[in-house]
Chains A and B, each alone.
Chain A
Amino acid sequence: MAPTLAQLLTPQTQQQIFQLLLAYYQAAGYPTTAWPQFGNDVARNQAFAQALFDVLTNYIPAIAGGSLLDYAPNYPGWTQLTASEIFGLPVNLATFTQGYILATNTSSTAYNFSPTNQLIATFQASTNRYLSQGTGTIPANSTLLILFQAEFAGASYVDPSNANPSNSLPTALTLVTPLPGVWLNNPSTNFSSVTHVGNGTGSLTLGGSPVGSHSIEIDVTATSTSAPASLSYKLDGAAAVSLGSVSSVTNLAGLGINITLVNGASGTSWVNQDTYSFSTPASWISSQGANIEADPALAARSRARWASLSPIPTMNLYALLAQSTPNVGAQVTQVFVVPDPNINNKVNVVVAGPGGILPGPTITLIQNFLTPFRRGTDNPVVSSPTTLGITIAATIYGAASQAAAIQAAATTAYNNYVASIAVNGTIKLSDIEVLTKPNPLTGLGGIQGVSDIQNLTINGAATNLILGGPGSFVLPAYPPTLNLSYIFQ
């Protein structure tokens, strides 16, 4: 009887195989009952069993499951082989993080760097190292913004902005080979670039001193040849709030954000239902590095390959294209394709990466790759999810002798937890409690020295926080605000 797939995928132990082999000998009438314990027959057949074990355990399950996308990720190498040879999709290779670091030179000596004389910057917290790109000179008594690239490809290069906000304690971001008088910082900028969707020729100029981490969408609510224009705004994906008919906005939502409407050179500047989106602040990272495409993601992309057979675009076609964008496809670890609920044939392609929101230039690259493949009257628009500021508040009880360690561990644990939440994920009270309080029975897990956590809230409520919903895509802003009070005994 032919074996089932389940049987083929089930590895056997060496002992099981030895017993099976023995059964063949017994069935054939070969004497097997009087073998000395350490005799040749036992040794030889155990050696056979070892070789057969290798075949039955390592090869037959892989051969059976290797070309099935559901199982291939269980067998190293098979998903890439299947994707490449059957679906025609090479794996997305790992990419390097790039970003701009500001070098401030307080000395009277200029310093040169080049590909053969690269500057190496290190973030002390992560020990991640970045290498300067290109050639340049840091002028004496001046500054230079330098493009750095991660030493290795991968998603772990997600160091936060503003490591050294001043040179009073310039140790968080340093040069491996110090240059006398030079200190580094990786400043965030106040605003991301503005993503405009629609046909209006107008644009927005942003200014002010924004407070906090937010995503903002400005919607045009009535067509107008020139400003003033009727606008509304959505803060962090919340409901729209009317701004009335305006030419500029000062201190939007009390967040210190100023907006000036700039009319287009010609045409209608402000068109009903056009949207303008931006976020604040913008990371120092200009291109987020990604790991090599994981096998489950490659399997999913392979399935989506089928959609490319049809002349009519379906959801999976745009997902496939977004994740196959040359050089940056690996950065797209999450993609959602949803028809727009308001505009005919507009298709929202919402993408996010391993570090959350992808940099603006990456979004542009994906859009530029996808646009030529759009079909019919489709209008696929690539965008990032909105972000929602997260505040975690709690009272943590712990041992006074470990006070500093507890506070540091809590900050790290909560930051990492929020960073791990996917688009439209759920931030759970129970997860935070497990991260905080060691298991009362085993003493394992949690933060050592913590005895209890109380008054835990997420964004002011003692309930789980569910992000987003149908048609809206939300990521938690990073890092979260931590309002933690400690009682040490």
Chain B
Amino acid sequence: MSAPNPSPYKTWWQQVVGAAIPWLAGGVNGQAEGNAWPAFLDYLLTLLIAARYQAYPDYCAPDALTHLAGDRMLVQGPSETNANLITRIKTAWGNSPITLPPTQTGLPAVQPGGPSSGWALAGTWLQLLEELYWGGFGGDNSGGSLIHAPVIVQQNGLADYLTGIPTAGADNRSVWASAATAVLPGPIVSSVNTFRTIPAGNSWFWFDGNTDLCSRFAIIWPTAPATYPWSTALLAQLQKLITTWRPNAVCYGAFVVTAGRTWDWPVTTWDGYGGNWDSPSTVVQVLQPF
């Protein structure tokens, strides 16, 4: 599918001018002229069509892709192919021409035209995780498997993460998981209002003693991805990605565990709270709360 090829002006010269003024088109200089400025007009027409094609991701020049993506607030990561970006650009609406997912996945059927990815899912952790992946922050592709992927933890006890490589423009719930964080062995007394407590037995993730402000989340890389450490410019890009795609919740920060593990992730036995990470752990906070 593309624009129809226009008839060349060179052909016009030979056929139309040649029929109307045969002495002009048929002479030596006339034939040469027929291959000159009509050919230039053909070149010009090529440019005009190419100019219009810059609006279409399948037909534009490669250097237009980042601008088409930027118009949709999408970021091409350092390892994302142009073909993948084109798919994301075309499916930014979230209305990809999907088919119903296999029934064995157990997922609810997604209707064709329904939200499957892109902006229709903005504000979900699934979409933020996808955008982090495409932007170069969402883990590493190791022979088709996802490793070093980040985890989004909510203070109120949920953790979301990708289990596999997402597919551009597709319904990626099959490579997404959500799990409860470890449960509290004892109650947490709010440091803000001491009459408030979070009872033992509830899933929780300790940021601090402010249990009233529980709509916070953090992003944790339990193991450092290959692209780490990130430059200041990349960290700014990371923060912009999170800011653009998060719901209106406070991000408590972004953390990379460079050695050891965090005390509450992966979900294991709760081994205390109070802001301590598992020992021995080396945790780098790469983004402050925002």
Chain A interface (Cβ < 8 Å from any Cβ of B): 2-6, 8, 20-21, 24-25, 27-31, 45, 48, 52, 55-56, 59-61, 63-65, 67-71, 302-303, 306-307, 309-316, 318, 337-345, 347, 378, 380, 470-471
Contacts and interface: CB of A to CB of B under 8 A. Distances in A.
21 contacts: A2-B61, A4-B62, A5-B63, A5-B67, A8-B51, A24-B40, A25-B32, A25-B33, A29-B35, A63-B51, A64-B52, A68-B68, A71-B67, A303-B73, A306-B92, A314-B247, A344-B212, A344-B214, A345-B215, A347-B248, A378-B248
A246 B239 CA distance: 42
B120 to A, nearest CB: 5
Given A61-B51, A67-B55, A310-B124, 20 more contacts: A24-B43, A28-B34, A30-B33, A55-B44, A70-B71, A71-B67, A307-B119, A309-B93, A310-B94, A310-B115, A310-B120, A310-B121, A314-B123, A314-B245, A315-B246, A337-B248, A340-B250, A343-B213, A345-B249, A378-B248
A4 B29 CA distance: 34
Contacts of B67: 5, 68-71
B245 A8 contact: no
A30 B122 CA distance: 61
Nearest to A316: B244
Given A2-B61, A8-B47, A25-B36, A310 B71 contact: no
A322 B58 CA distance: 34
B46 to A, nearest CB: 8
A135 to B, nearest CB: 47
A24 B71 contact: no
A4 B61 contact: yes
A309 B94 contact: yes
Contacts, number: 164
B151 to A, nearest CB: 20
B243 interface: yes
Contacts of B47: 3, 8, 56, 60
Interface residues of B, number: 55
Residue of A3, A4, A71, A306 most packed against chain B (CB within 10 A): A306
A28 B32 contact: yes
A68 B71 contact: yes
Residue of A27, A340, A344, A471 most packed against chain B (CB within 10 A): A344
Given A71-B67, A306-B73, A312 B54 contact: no
B35 A339 contact: no
B38 to A, nearest CB: 9
A24 B62 CA distance: 28
A68 B71 CA distance: 7
B248 A5 contact: no
Contact of B44 (A56, A64, A306): A56
Contacts of A347: 248
A31 B70 contact: no
B39 interface: yes
A380 B62 CA distance: 40
Interface string B172-206: 00000000000000000000000000000000000
Interface string B153-172: 00000000000000000000
B37 interface: yes
Contacts of A378: 248
